[in-house]
Chain A
């Protein structure tokens, strides 16, 4: 019997009984495993596995440029003759690390800000939310570009830059929900039972704000993966020749009429990954709601 009183119990039950939730979980697990594999393979095994199964993602083959999919190159090759499948596999880690990293950064910062400003109100609320307004005054991608220009290139810089750009939306979503939760009687009751403020914030208010936060997080993850592609395209993202889906997609657009495989496969990788995270996000959101019995699905 599954323990339906724990979130883990409900998530695992849904993944097993609901095919859509299962697909989401499968895609996310597969993407994370692929990302992990590419890191291990490149830095510990010196590309041993990818070389023996496919080709090195960095290996140039000037005589085999833009080859269409074949047995040797299932996804074809790019304009420098590199194997697209190998590069898509290696590109997973960039998208996963930057996407989840930026969203995690934005979630932690934004949610904390949102809950605190909503709970204390007054001056705290004014200062916090006006700061968010300042950030919101710039388009997210411009803000990220400006931050990247001052932080320099690299994984950490992109994560921080995109993370900061997404903080205001998390802070606002959390704050608006927390404001309504704050006036619920159970929050007053907890305070009157002498429950410490810190615990009121984390145990009473936060769990009741989860639904919009999870929705915002899955949505932002998709946007972050695409934004990373945009930044790489502008030459501000990950340094070439590190494979990323974004750089591949942007170089592919020149050849979109002659080499369909070049843009299709990196694009498909982005679509499938984003979809997988969205499906899993829905599932987690439903599972976090104790009033659902953990079986219905709301898409």
Chain B
């Protein structure tokens, strides 16, 4: 059974100028221990999808249709109290800017310790905590082990350092440690390596991949960077303007994309081995979310668009191991 199963999810935001269809009917599945990449341009609805999975959408946003099932439970109808148990314990999240995700007034070790402690022993009286009476030696030991597991040197000493005393790469490792601390079944990672330089990004991706494989954790890795997907993900989901355009095993999608949008994305990557070639630039912009075209979302930018594409957004057609929302795939079969 899959860890996460999203069915026909719609997330809308009511604004003064109309309804923004941020996520417009997506289906997605993540199997246990699988790393799935969710790829798309800015504004394609990736982060809103992550928020919806954790039932974090707040007014003016709402979810008019669709289900999110985690481990067979419907996340969208869970009461607050059960959500709190789910968050951090079973689904955890890695943030885009880890420097902002740590409380600057508490040591990193302390924050990790508190997360683990509150999942084990529940809430603690603030006075007790202020006096250090909540300290749990077993939790501390496990935090140090986790810091060690994410390759933070001298974890015993770094435990009592403040977030600003960590470098960018180190604090991202600490963030990963925090996300994996309570042994969650699913980790949502929202472009966590965007702010890092390439060599550190590499190290962290390798480390992360090894860790989640070892712990058998499923991951939904949100990114706009296809090279990260190639390095990390088992499967990839390509999103565009609130819709899923293509799904399939990473190798297959990247080597023979079946959707014109995926092809355009791949072509947009600058190639150092062909320096004389002009950079490929996709014409146009992501359609205005207030005013989405009624046909295929990509039709007005698609080099292969034809009349049929303007009528309705295509359903997903199977194409070998992949699925692609494009009439061309259907026509190729006919």
User: Is A203 engaged at the interface, CB distance under 8 Å to the other chain?
Assistant: yes
1/0 per residue, CB under 8 A from B, across A168-195: the answer is 0000000000000000111011111111
CA–CA, A196 and B121, complex, Å: 11
CA–CA, A122 and B105, complex, Å: 27
CA–CA, A192 and B84, complex, Å: 8
Least Cβ–Cβ distance between A77 and chain B, in angstroms: 49
Main secondary structure of the interface of A (DSSP, over half): helix
A208's partner among B93, B105, B107 (CB-CB below 8 A) is B105
B126 and A186 within 8 A (CB): no
Q: Which residues of B contact A199 (CB under 8 A)?
A: 114, 118, 123-124, 126, 129
Q: Please report which residues of chain B, range 37-91, place their CB below 8 angstroms from some CB of chain A when the two chains form the complex.
A: 54, 56, 84-89
B123's partner among A188, A189, A196 (CB-CB below 8 A) is A196
Q: Which residues of A contact B100 (CB under 8 A)?
A: 184-186
CA–CA, A289 and B106, complex, Å: 10
B114 and A194 within 8 A (CB): no
1/0 per residue, CB under 8 A from A, across B96-129: the answer is 0100111111110001001100110011101001
Residue pairs across A and B with CB atoms within 8 Å: the count is 87
User: Is B164 engaged at the interface, CB distance under 8 Å to the other chain?
Assistant: yes
User: Is B160 engaged at the interface, CB distance under 8 Å to the other chain?
Assistant: yes
**What number of B residues sit within 8 Å (CB to CB) of A?**
37
1/0 per residue, CB under 8 A from B, across A194-206: the answer is 1110110111100
User: Is A291 engaged at the interface, CB distance under 8 Å to the other chain?
Assistant: yes
B178 and A186 within 8 A (CB): no
A189 and B107 within 8 A (CB): no
User: Is B92 engaged at the interface, CB distance under 8 Å to the other chain?
Assistant: yes
- Contacts beyond the supplied A185-B101, A194-B84, A194-B89: 15 A-B pairs with Cβ under 8 Å: A186-B100, A186-B102, A186-B104, A192-B56, A192-B87, A193-B115, A194-B119, A196-B124, A199-B114, A203-B103, A203-B126, A208-B105, A210-B105, A290-B105, A290-B164
Q: Which residues of A contact B (CB under 8 A)?
A: 5, 184-186, 188-196, 198-199, 201-204, 207-208, 210, 288-291
Chosen A-B contacts, 18 in total, with CB atoms closer than 8 Å, are: A5-B107, A186-B104, A189-B95, A190-B103, A190-B111, A190-B115, A193-B92, A194-B84, A194-B85, A194-B86, A194-B87, A194-B88, A194-B118, A195-B88, A198-B123, A199-B123, A199-B124, A288-B105
